[in-house]
Amino acid sequence: MTRISIPARERLIFAMDVPDAETARRLADDLGDSVAFYKLGLELCMAGGYFELLDWMVGRGKKVFVDLKFFDVPATVASAVRNLTNRGVTYATVHGNQGIMEAAATAKGDVKILAVTVLTSLDRGDLDDLGFACDVEKLVLSRARRALEAGCDGVISSGLEAKTLRQGVDDKLIVVTPGIRPVENRLADDQKRVVNVAQAFANGADHIVVGRPIRDAADPRGAAEAIQSTIATVFGGDQ
Residues annotated catalytic, as ranges = 69
Strand partners, 115: 94, 155
60 by Cβ neighbours in 10 Å (0-12 / 13-18 / 19+) ranks as: exposed
How far is it, in rounded angstroms, from Cα 17 to Cα 215?
8
- The SS3 call for residue 70 is strand
The amino acid present at 138, given as its one-letter code, is K
C-beta separation of 17 from 187 below 8 A: no
Inter-CA distances, 196 with 20, 48, 141, Å: 28, 33, 21
C-beta separation of 57 from 83 below 8 A: no
Q: What are the two backbone dihedrals, phi and then psi, of residue 199, each rounded to the nearest 5 degrees?
A: -65, -40
Query: Which DSSP string corresponds to 15-45?
Result: E---SSHHHHHHHHHHHGGG--EEEE-HHHH
Query: Which DSSP string corresponds to 154-216?
Result: EEE--HHHHHHHHHHS-TTSEEEE--B-SS---TT-S--S-B-HHHHHHTT-SEEEE-HHHHT
